[in-house]
């Protein structure tokens, strides 16, 4: 994939990833002890949906715009509300003009003693990230390769926290690096929560990733996938997945409610599907 996030901000893949991210943050915040979030491929932090890039792709119209217009069951709506509240706070008068990247969402959950490290290597995105997160003592932005950050910043001094790994998948090796990077980081910080995003065009690469992850021998790996269109056209992004290591204990139950709702709201031509299963652990 040749990935520039400004073209894809607010897409179905963002909605899925960020809805799950916010549930994890909700559970981290529910306990008094401080936590740290490490966002290894943070992007620009905030996106203008009226920009030429976002307007050209228009993927937000089939993502966040469709979700906001969807009629959801009360339980799913309640789970999504904290995430959508952050989106709404950036958009006055109800018009969708801005969309938060993962760093902006994470910052909304930080308390006074919680911390975030947001890493981005691409110069323009890194400059934007530093600007959007400026003057916040809880946040450190770094212009650094995300794969390097995955190894360098674990374990944090806080005993609790999350590592979000959301690479651009511009290289064929990124699927392999995802498994290798997780294995190395987990050996250093086995109690941390890890959320690893990946694209789904067809089944070969996601299934190969699952095999590599099983071979790592980690105790708890939950897989969640959202498919918005059939996998018959491998040239397009048909879905995306999240690998969740050491997920909060209520998260599987919440995802069993969220995933069907997101599939119904975001599936193309009513053909959305989902998968939720354990690669290792509680199944």
Query: What are the residue numbers of the active site?
Result: 166
Closest CA to 226 of 57, 79, 29, 14: 14
- Residues linked to residue 192 through DSSP beta bridges, in sequence order: none
- Which value, to the nearest 10 degrees, does the dihedral of the CA atoms of residues 269, 262, 97, 111 take? -170
Preceding amide of 161 cis, omega within 30: no
Closest CA to 254 of 85, 75, 82: 75
- Residues linked to residue 185 through DSSP beta bridges, in sequence order: none
Sequence-distant (≥ 6) Cβ neighbours of residue 15 within 8 angstroms:
63, 64, 67, 262, 266
Count of other CB atoms within 10 angstroms of residue 150? 26
Q: Rounded to whole angstroms, how far apart are CA atoms 220 and 279? A: 8
What distance, in Å, lies between the first and last C-alpha atoms of the chain? 32
Q: Rounded to whole angstroms, how far apart are CA atoms 198 and 166? A: 7
Q: Rounded to whole angstroms, how far apart are CA atoms 58 and 150? A: 31
């Amino acid at each position: 994939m040749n990935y520039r996030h400004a073209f894809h901000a607010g897409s179905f893949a963002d909605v899925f990833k960020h809805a799950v991210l916010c549930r994890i943050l909700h559970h981290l915040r529910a306990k008094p002890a401080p936590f740290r979030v490490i966002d290894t491929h943070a992007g620009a932090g905030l996106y203008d949906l009226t920009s030429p890039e976002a307007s050209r792709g228009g993927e937000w119209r089939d993502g966040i715009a469709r979700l906001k217009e969807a009629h959801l069951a009360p339980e799913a709506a309640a789970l999504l509300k904290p995430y959508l509240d952050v989106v709404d706070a950036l958009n006055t008068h109800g018009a969708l003009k801005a969309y938060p990247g993962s760093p902006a969402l994470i910052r909304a959950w930080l308390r006074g003693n919680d911390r975030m490290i947001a890493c981005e290597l691409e110069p323009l995105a890194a400059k934007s990230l530093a600007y959007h997160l400026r003057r916040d003592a809880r946040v450190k932005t770094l212009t650094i390769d995300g794969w390097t950050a995955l190894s360098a910043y674990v374990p944090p001094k806080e005993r609790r926290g999350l590592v979000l790994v959301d690479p651009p998948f511009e290289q064929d090796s990124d699927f392999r690096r995802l498994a290798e990077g997780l294995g190395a980081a987990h050996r250093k910080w086995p109690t941390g929560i890890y959320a690893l995003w990946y694209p789904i065009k067809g089944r070969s690469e996601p299934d190969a990733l699952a095999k590599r992850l099983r071979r790592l021998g980690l105790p708890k790996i939950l897989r969640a996938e959202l498919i918005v269109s059939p996998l018959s056209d491998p040239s397009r992004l048909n879905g995306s997945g999240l690998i969740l290591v050491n997920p909060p204990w209520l998260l599987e139950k919440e995802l069993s409610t969220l995933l069907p709702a997101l599939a119904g709201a975001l599936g193309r031509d009513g053909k959305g599907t989902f998968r939720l299963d354990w690669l290792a652990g509680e199944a």
